[in-house]
């Protein structure tokens, strides 16, 4: 980008391109897919090497793996209750896939696959289909009483039932957009402030001094984004647990 007449191209960083040359291009293997594979492999490696030593006094990696296991286990147990144990692997996988996706995206020259609504939407649809299937298999037709709060006057049925159905169907939308918007907004903010830096540096010697401002802001933002990356993975997992609780217990 030529200094001085720079323009902000904030959304260009989310463009997909294929990797691994002609082989990757023939199967449309993009950098987003590559990062997903890396995130999955990192999760597996983290748990494999964390669980391998089985020391009584855990080393650093084992302590981290045990801490992560305990964290999600307590979350699932607190939110869903005793029946939550069989959903633990699902929530654990979901949490770590999103966490590694968010964190890998913060490294230079990588790509945040959670910044594409196609990815987060697929995850959210997976969650909502699972929740509905679980609710139907446990409660059968009684599941549909979920859309009818106890003790509501019968005259309000035409209003309450559509509202409850819409709020149920809007869950995957809000779940996917929350994660996607957080990631996109963070990365666009990086890009905007980085462009400010280039623009200021183009203005001469005074600009070099002024460019320290956006640089410092970007450093602070990076810390904030680390928080957001972990927090959004946590929120996704917590909301999945809350929906599963509703499915298991109906209200």
Which positions touch another protein (CB under 8 A)? Answer: 8-11, 174, 177-178, 181-182, 184-185, 188, 231-232, 234-235, 238
Q: Which is nearer to another protein, 139 or 178 (CB)?
A: 178
Q: Which two tokens stand for residue 144?
A: 């549909």
| DSSP one-letter string for 77-88 | HHHH-GGGGGGH
Q: How far is CA 118 from the centre of its chain?
A: 12
Q: Which is nearer to another protein, 163 or 231 (CB)?
A: 231
Cβ burial of 240 (10 Å; 0-12, 13-18, 19+) is buried
Q: Which is nearer to another protein, 34 or 177 (CB)?
A: 177
Cα–Cα distances in Å, from 235 out to 39, 111, 178?
Answer: 19, 21, 9
Q: Which two tokens stand for residue 222?
A: 């990076």
In whole angstroms, the minimum distance from the beta carbon of 247 to another protein comes to 20
Q: Which two tokens stand for residue 63?
A: 């302590």
DSSP structural state of residue 206: H
Looking up tokens 């959304």, which residue turns up? 11
In whole angstroms, the minimum distance from the beta carbon of 123 to another protein comes to 16
Cα–Cα distances in Å, from 30 out to 20, 124, 126?
Answer: 9, 21, 22
Q: Which is nearer to another protein, 12 or 140 (CB)?
A: 12
In whole angstroms, the minimum distance from the beta carbon of 135 to another protein comes to 23
Cα–Cα distances in Å, from 230 out to 15, 85, 183, 224, 236?
Answer: 24, 23, 11, 10, 10
CB 248 within 8 A of CB 81: yes
In whole angstroms, the minimum distance from the beta carbon of 85 to another protein comes to 21
In whole angstroms, the minimum distance from the beta carbon of 196 to another protein comes to 14
In whole angstroms, the minimum distance from the beta carbon of 120 to another protein comes to 12
In whole angstroms, the minimum distance from the beta carbon of 227 to another protein comes to 10
Q: Which is nearer to another protein, 30 or 176 (CB)?
A: 176
Q: Which is nearer to another protein, 125 or 181 (CB)?
A: 181
Q: Which two tokens stand for residue 47?
A: 């748990």
Q: How far is CA 224 from the centre of its chain?
A: 15
């Amino acid at each position: 980008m030529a200094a001085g007449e720079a323009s902000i191209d904030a959304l260009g960083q989310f463009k997909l391109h294929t990797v691994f040359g002609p082989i990757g291009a023939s199967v449309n293997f993009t950098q987003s897919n590559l990062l997903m594979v890396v995130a999955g492999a990192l999760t597996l490696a983290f748990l494999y090497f964390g669980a391998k030593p089985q020391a009584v006094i855990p080393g650093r990696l084992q302590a981290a793996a045990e801490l992560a296991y305990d964290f999600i286990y307590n979350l699932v147990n607190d939110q869903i209750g005793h029946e939550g144990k069989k959903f633990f692997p699902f929530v654990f996988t979901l949490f770590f896939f999103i966490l590694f996706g968010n964190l890998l995206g913060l490294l230079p020259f990588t790509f945040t696959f959670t910044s594409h609504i196609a990815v987060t939407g697929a995850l959210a649809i997976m969650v909502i289909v699972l929740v509905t299937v679980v609710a139907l298999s446990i409660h059968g037709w009684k599941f549909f009483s979920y859309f009818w709060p106890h003790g509501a006057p019968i005259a309000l049925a035409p209003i309450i039932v559509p509202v409850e159905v819409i709020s149920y169907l809007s869950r995957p939308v809000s779940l996917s957009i929350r994660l996607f918007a957080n990631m996109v907004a963070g990365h666009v903010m990086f890009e905007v402030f980085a462009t400010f830096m280039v623009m200021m540096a183009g203005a001469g010697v005074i600009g070099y001094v002024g460019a320290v401002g956006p640089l410092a802001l970007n450093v602070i933002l990076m810390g904030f984004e680390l928080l957001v990356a972990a927090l959004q993975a946590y929120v996704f997992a917590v909301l999945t647990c809350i929906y599963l609780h509703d499915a298991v217990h109906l209200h």
